[in-house]
């Protein structure tokens, strides 16, 4: 089941982060597929190879002025990679969705990606016999995208896969190509043949578990159009904006040239939530037995990494989550596990407990449970997100930079780089001086120290 309900677009019913469809691949086959993907992506590891964005800060504005970016809405969905492979023993194409936990799920046979070239009529050309010799199968392909629930005007929900990048197409590694070229290949070599095939095979299209589209990209200085035009017309939930440098290659892992923006105090962090209960002194006066009927302390632990051979689980205490009494009752009634799970939380200036004089205080608030993640954010990422909260960019400031971004985009030097299709070196965002005192909208996180003594798990 999806973890939690999330706000949908204006006027729609609440959305949910979709589960990844398909049959989970067994461990032995999964390891083989991971090794295959690592080879295709030219990696020395078998971890999830998808690129990960960084949070937006004041310095990110400078980067948008010095390099060319595309901007799109950041969907509130489930990140997946798509592996398109050819099973030479069964003589058929196989398609897998890979989630952030690096779990592979095989998709329905109705889903088929044809090759962009016409078949030459030889068996080794991967012609799929059950759909005729017109169609040759695409293979050795890894795509990047996200699953979303779209709510239609009549209230029906549609599961859709939005593709936005390509790591490998037909065995050709695309990581060294610019985003502009990767996106163009995705459109011409993958999506157009797919649409043509489904148009000629409508029954297959109806039998698919989800629809497929390519996500719309706008020029980096089209911020206002995305915020005021595209996002209000979305049929799925939105979580801000994503800026991606169009002259950069694809980075497997954290990419400083992919920047996620949202209003500073809507930034979220993933922690491991651990419930710590007070002792039940009536049962054990020594305090060794937890009182599981009491409201617990909601500890937020940050991931610091695991050392080989260590007995530590790689987490340390960071702060605590504020949960109202009625919210705790709802959590218990839901039947969902909340202890020892990854949760996404946000810093709310009025989200903490009331002060002695009845005024709200700041605090961390639960956004959703992250069933799609093994671990919370690494402590280095936590600090970067906190910086983006304290040193973030408001919407009016972002929109106000549009004209300067437009002038920079149209400069002769930037035009030359785009036309040449050059991949620019991976420079970090220019540094800015510290924000002036008093700019923050309230105290920044974290706000409290160690948890109260005597609590039990």
Whether residue 74 lies in the annotated active site:
yes
Contacts of 166 (CB under 8 A, 6+ apart): 141, 142, 143, 144, 174, 182, 183, 185, 186, 190
- Across 194-203, b (16+ Cβ under 10 Å) vs e yields beebbeebee
CB atoms < 10 A from the CB of 400, how many?
14
**Residue in the block written with tokens 């419930």:** 275
Report the SS3 class of residue 83.
strand
Pairing of strands 92-98, 78-87: antiparallel
- 74, 136, 257, 262: the catalytic one is 74
Lookup: tokens for 90: 């069964």
Give the whole-angstrom CA distance, residue 60 versus residue 273: 30
Give the whole-angstrom CA distance, residue 237 versus residue 262: 14
Lookup: tokens for 319: 């702060």
Give the whole-angstrom CA distance, residue 143 versus residue 40: 12
Q: Which residues are catalytic?
A: 74
């Amino acid at each position: 089941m999806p973890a939690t309900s999330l706000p949908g677009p204006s006027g729609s019913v609440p959305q949910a982060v979709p589960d990844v469809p398909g049959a989970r691949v067994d461990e032995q086959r999964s390891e083989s597929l991971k090794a295959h993907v690592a080879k295709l992506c030219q990696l020395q590891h078998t971890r999830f190879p998808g690129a990960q964005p960084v949070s937006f800060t004041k310095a990110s504005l400078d980067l948008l002025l010095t390099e060319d970016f595309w901007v799109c809405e950041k969907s509130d969905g489930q990140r997946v990679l798509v592996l398109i492979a050819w099973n030479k023993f069964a003589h058929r194409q196989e398609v897998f969705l890979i989630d952030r936990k690096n779990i592979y799920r095989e998709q329905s046979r109705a889903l088929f990606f044809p090759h962009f070239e016409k078949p030459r009529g030889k068996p080794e050309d991967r012609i799929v016999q059950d759909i005729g010799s017109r169609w040759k199968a695409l293979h050795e392909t890894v795509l990047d995208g996200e699953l979303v629930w779209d709510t239609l005007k009549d209230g029906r929900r549609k599961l859709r896969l939005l593709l936005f990048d390509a790591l490998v197409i037909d065995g050709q590694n695309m990581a060294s190509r610019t985003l502009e070229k990767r996106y163009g290949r995705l459109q011409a070599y993958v999506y157009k043949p797919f649409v043509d095939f489904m148009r000629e095979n409508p029954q297959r299209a109806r039998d698919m578990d989800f629809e497929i589209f390519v996500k719309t990209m706008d020029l980096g200085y089209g911020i206002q159009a995305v915020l005021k035009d595209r996002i209000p017309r979305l049929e799925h939930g939105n979580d801000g904006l994503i800026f991606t440098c169009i002259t950069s290659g694809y980075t497997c892992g954290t990419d400083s040239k992919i920047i996620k923006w949202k209003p500073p105090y809507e930034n979220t962090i993933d922690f491991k939530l651990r419930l710590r209960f007070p002792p039940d002194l009536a049962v054990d006066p020594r305090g060794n037995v937890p009182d599981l009927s009491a409201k617990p302390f909601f500890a937020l632990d940050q991931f610091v990494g695991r050392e080989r051979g260590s007995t530590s689980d790689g987490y340390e205490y960071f702060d605590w989550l504020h949960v109202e009494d009625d919210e705790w009752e709802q959590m218990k009634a839901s039947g969902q596990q909340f202890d020892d799970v990854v949760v996404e939380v946000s810093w709310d200036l009025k989200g903490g407990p009331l002060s002695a004089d009845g005024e709200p205080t700041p605090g961390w608030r639960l956004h959703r449970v992250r069933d799609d993640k093994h671990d919370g954010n690494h402590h280095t990422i936590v600090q970067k997100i906190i910086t983006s909260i304290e040193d973030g960019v408001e919407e009016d400031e972002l929109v106000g930079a549009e004209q300067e971004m437009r002038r920079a985009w149209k400069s002769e030097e930037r035009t030359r780089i785009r036309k040449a299709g050059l991949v620019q070196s991976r420079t970090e965002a220019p540094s800015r001086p510290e924000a002036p005192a008093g700019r923050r909208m309230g105290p920044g996180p974290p706000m409290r120290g160690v948890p109260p003594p005597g609590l039990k798990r």
